[in-house]
Amino acid sequence: MLRPLSKPPSPEVVKVSLKDCLACSGCITSAETVMLEKQCLEEFLSHINPEKAVIVSVSPQSRASLATYFDLSPAQVFRKLTTFFKSLGVKAVYDTSCSRDISLVESCNEFISRHKHHIAGDEESVSNLPMISSACPGWICYAEKTLGSFILPYISSVKSPQQVMGAILKHHISKKMGYSPDKIFHVTVMPCYDKKLEAARDDFVFSVDHGGENYPVDDFSAMKIPEVDIVLTTGEVLDLIKLKSIDFKALVEDPPDRLLTNVDDNGLFYGVSGGSGGYAETIFRYAAKNLFNRDIEGPLQFRIIRNSDFQEVALEVDGKVVLRFALCYGFRNLRNVVQKISKGKSDYHFLEIMACPSGCLNGGGQIKPAAGQSATNLIQQLGNVYMQDVLIASPFENPIVKTLYAEWLEQPGSEKARTYTRTQYHPVVKSIASELHNW
């Protein structure tokens, strides 16, 4: 006699958050993306209250996207955003170019150090070239969850501009403003959803006691404070403007908050060339001067290798290539260079890697092309708009950066600068996310 089948056990509910995502620029950057519970407009609006000082930091890429959408200049957009956010109760609105410049300064310092160790044959450092940029959280997540530990020593230890901005606000500017770090609610406006993932990393949480003293990240006996509380994409800011039924173009333009906004007396923002932060170009020029006493005049002549998303530039001294840098955007190109590194066949000294094709200006959180407009056309337009209202200047000459080092970080590469601007990466045990291969 057959016995009835026993009732199968109820399946366990599997919860997947952005921390589990491979950040492949597929589902995470689509319109149907499921947000982290605390990374949304409603949460942002709920924290605008008398108990918190809400501070918004706006990326240059988001500024360019909104400027293109509204047919305004980036400077106009930033001033109108200042008006808009302050009408909601935001305390201050800053531009992240100052934190980007600190990231660039520290990256220059780190590259010079690595290169000198490499030339000296230091066994512990010789494998750490090419140095790979670390500002793209999609790339970092892919490296940690898919590539294993072999690639991590090559990645720059410098935090992204978003997280450096959080460190500046929570560890330094909060004191100047008269707030304890837990009373600052820091919101960033970024071009990609993966920045939400970055803000949620445990590495970017610190602790304070109730007296306001900061403690190392591994001391969680006190209050836990994130460097960035909420990330809003450019598209979400546009949604918020529409939600409030604001005629954005008709808004008056409040002056920028100069404490952390890189703007000169003529309204120009301090900036660098490169829609993804200018890492390759800035470090190349700095290394050419400081390692080989070569001043690079005019724009760098990048050479297209496979496609427009893979370009390289080289410096020759006495007929020998002494520096070779590359821009590597999109996972197709990314996987090729990673394979070469794994086989010891890479001849690059530095790689500016971004997960999105065309880099950060094409981030998944940017405003989508208008009806009838191609993505290629939009990217070209964004590239042109991005450089409007920009005063090209070395990050080392940025007056706000100089002030932050003088008041707080001491000097590039100092122990204090490393404490607040550097981080570390961790190979992640294989999980559901590592089974996703749809990038």
Is residue 285 within 8 A of residue 397, CB to CB? The reply is no
Q: How many CB atoms lie within 10 A of CB 321?
A: 11
Provide the angle, in degrees to the nearest 10, between the axes of the packed helices 74-88 and 60-70.
100
Q: Do domains 34-98+162-263 and 105-157+272-396 have the same CATH topology?
A: no
Parse the chain into domains and list their residue ranges. Answer: 34-98+162-263, 105-157+272-396
Give me the amino acid identity at 68: T
User: What CATH number should be reported for the domain whose range is 34-98+162-263?
Assistant: 3.40.50.1780
Condensed to tens digits (0 to 9), the pLDDT of residues 204-253 reads: 998 875 444 554 444 445 578 999 999 999 999 999 999 999 999 999 99
DSSP state of 39: S
pLDDT bucket at 118, cuts 50 / 70 / 90: confident
Q: What is the pLDDT of residue 213?
A: 53
Q: What are phi and psi of 53, to 5 degrees?
A: -100, 100
DSSP state of 50: T
Q: Rounded mean pLDDT of 270-276?
A: 90
Which of 8-22, 33-47, 175-189 tops mean pLDDT?
175-189
The sign of the dihedral angle between the CA atoms of 277, 278, 284, 286 is: negative
Look at residues 165, 97, 168, 103 and name the one whose alpha carbon lies nearest to residue 135.
Answer: 103
Q: What is the pLDDT of residue 439?
A: 41
Cα 78 from Cα 234, distance rounded (Å): 13
Can you tell me whether residue 306 is helix, strand or coil? strand
What is the DSSP track for 216-271?
Answer: -TT--SSEEEES-SEEEEHHHHHHHHHHTT--GGGS--PPP-TTT--B-TTSPEEE
Q: What is the pLDDT of residue 207?
A: 80
Cα 26 from Cα 204, distance rounded (Å): 25
Cα 35 from Cα 366, distance rounded (Å): 16
Q: Tell me the β-bridge partners of 383.
A: none
Condensed to tens digits (0 to 9), the pLDDT of residues 10-23 reads: 444 444 454 445 44
Residue 148 in tokens? 């294993």
pLDDT bucket at 4, cuts 50 / 70 / 90: very low
Q: What is the pLDDT of residue 436?
A: 46
Provide the angle, in degrees to the nearest 10, between the axes of the packed helices 60-70 and 375-386.
110
Q: How many CB atoms lie within 10 A of CB 131?
A: 27
Q: What is the pLDDT of residue 15?
A: 47
Q: What is the pLDDT of residue 224?
A: 86
DSSP state of 409: I
Burial class of 83 by CB neighbour count within 10 A (0 to 12, 13 to 18, 19+): middle
Cα 336 from Cα 343, distance rounded (Å): 11
DSSP state of 155: B
User: What CATH number should be reported for the domain whose range is 105-157+272-396?
Assistant: 3.40.950.10
Q: Rounded mean pLDDT of 82-94?
A: 97
Look at residues 415, 411, 421 and name the one whose alpha carbon lies nearest to residue 99.
Answer: 421
Q: Rounded mean pLDDT of 267-277?
A: 90
Cα 165 from Cα 176, distance rounded (Å): 15
Residue 143 in tokens? 């490296």
